[in-house]
Homo-oligomer: A and B are copies of this chain.
Amino acid sequence: MNVEQQFEGIEELWSPRVIGRVNDQYIKVAKLHGQFTWHKHDDEDELFLVVKGRLKIQFEDGDVELGPGDFHVVPKGVMHNPVADQECWVMLIETVTTKHTGDVKSVLTKTIEQQLAS
């Protein structure tokens, strides 16, 4: 399974698609552009790996800038906000129970059922 090919047909931004599972972690891909929303996952780390474009992850104490092939793990409990000034393609690794926007409700929020069916 080719990672880049898994982005084919994704039109909706910020809408993760589950492409695989290893142990209790889902592998997902998503196209990002613009601002997401500040949130945290109390009990789960979240890995972002940039496939194409650039991603800024805003933290309360500063930003992390990622380009193609760069990854960053957002530790559990840490507030963060992904921002992409141009369209950015990311691969995500998250525990199967992780909620898209943590305990924050947003118009962007996708359930895991939506992520599995997308």
Q: Chain A interface (Cβ within 8 Å of chain B)?
A: 1-4, 20-25, 27, 44-47, 49, 67, 69-73, 93-95
In contact, B22 and A45 (Cβ under 8 angstroms): yes
Distance A49 CA – B1 CA, assembled complex (angstroms): 9
Count of identical protomers in the assembly: 2
**Nearest opposing residue in chain B for A98, CB measure:** B23
Contact A21:B71 (CB < 8 A) given known A3-B49, A47-B27, A49-B3 = no
Given contacts A22-B94, A23-B25, 11 further A-B contacts (CB under 8 A): A1-B72, A2-B69, A20-B71, A21-B45, A22-B25, A22-B46, A22-B93, A23-B24, A23-B45, A24-B24, A93-B93
Which residues of B sit under 8 angstroms from A20, Cβ to Cβ? 47, 71, 73
